Amino acid sequence: MENTNINPLLCNPATGLCEIPGTGISNNYQAISNQDKPLKLVYFTDPICSSCWGIEPQLRKLKLEYGNILDIEYHMGGLLPDWSYNSGGISKPSDVAYHWDEVSVYYDMPIDGDVWLEDPLNSSYPPSIAFKAAEIQDKDKAVNFLRILRELVFLKKKNITRWEYIAMAAKEAGLDVVKLKTDFERSAQKLFEADLKLARDYGVRGFPTIFIQNKSGERETIYGTKPYSFFETVILNLSSDVTKEQYNKNREALFSKYNSLTAREYSELSGISRNESEKQLNELMDKGFLEKLMTKNGSLWIRKSSDKI
């Protein structure tokens, strides 16, 4: 039976999940194909999934330590088709605002819920389709594009269903905006529909949902936001002989890899304490190396130039 009281925008911090009505993970889906590296990671997400924003620190570290043995594949889940429902205590955009402020504190990742009061989104489908259009051009740039979209909606309170903000993010990610618009209106729609079907086939009923599989077909599921150690344990269970890469943890290297970081992300990647992370980031801002985007629930630090930090 489907749980009709579930509202996808009412994410559960305890489980780390933005859940949709469904029957649960299926055990009957076919093996993941096109696997070149020892492990394949399939990530079901959504541009406005607050729990997916909460998992960014873990995913960024995972790419640095295990990116050499992981094929990573993104799929959009369709978290908010429209507002033609009333469940879980949420029936209109303004109901989401307070909830986003709450989960921001829980995940220690800056989210300003006031977008739902000032310029609310009517669906998560347009930015999801835009991501599929970006993938047609370049998968790495598409991932960067998705990150920029999330910063726009979670921190800058921008309605990322509007083309002006999609185009802004695309330009910043180095994508061809004209081609993106063409693909958005044509082939990307079918690619998004294929993602929705794949999510149904897999029994995905919430985000983030991550499947990791080895070449023998053994698979484990990471359901909801989990600490980094959980990811590492799953990887070692599936491929005990892999070794993680030792990456450079100094501030110059980290901001060369990732143009923007929250204090929570910087702490996860550098291995220093959360308080010390914020102190270092503020010192770099004071010295003119970083810009600081402040919200009522935390900040984001952005590299200003290619000069050494």
pLDDT digits (tens, 9 = 90+) for 33-56: 567 899 999 999 999 999 999 999
Q: What is the mean pLDDT of residues 281-294?
A: 96
Q: What is the mean pLDDT of residues 62-70?
A: 97
Q: Is the pTM of this model over 0.85?
A: yes
Q: Which of 16-20, 29-33, 61-65 has the highest mean pLDDT?
A: 61-65
pLDDT band, residue 20 (cuts 50/70/90): confident
Q: What is the mean pLDDT of residues 186-196?
A: 98
Reference 79, options 160, 188, 14; nearest CA is: 160
Q: Could you give the C-alpha distances from 270 to 105, 128, 174, 249, 266, in angstroms and in order?
A: 21, 31, 27, 5, 6
As a whole-number percent, the residues of the chain with pLDDT over 70 amount to 89
Dihedral (Cα; 168, 169, 170, 172), 10-degree rounding: 90
Q: What is the mean pLDDT of residues 153-182?
A: 98
d(CA 29, CA 206): 17
> Which one has a higher pLDDT value, 249 or 85?
249
Which tokens in the block code for residue 93? 């955009």
Domains defined along the chain, listed by start: 32-207 (3.40.30.10), 251-303 (1.10.10.10)
Q: What is the mean pLDDT of residues 240-263?
A: 95
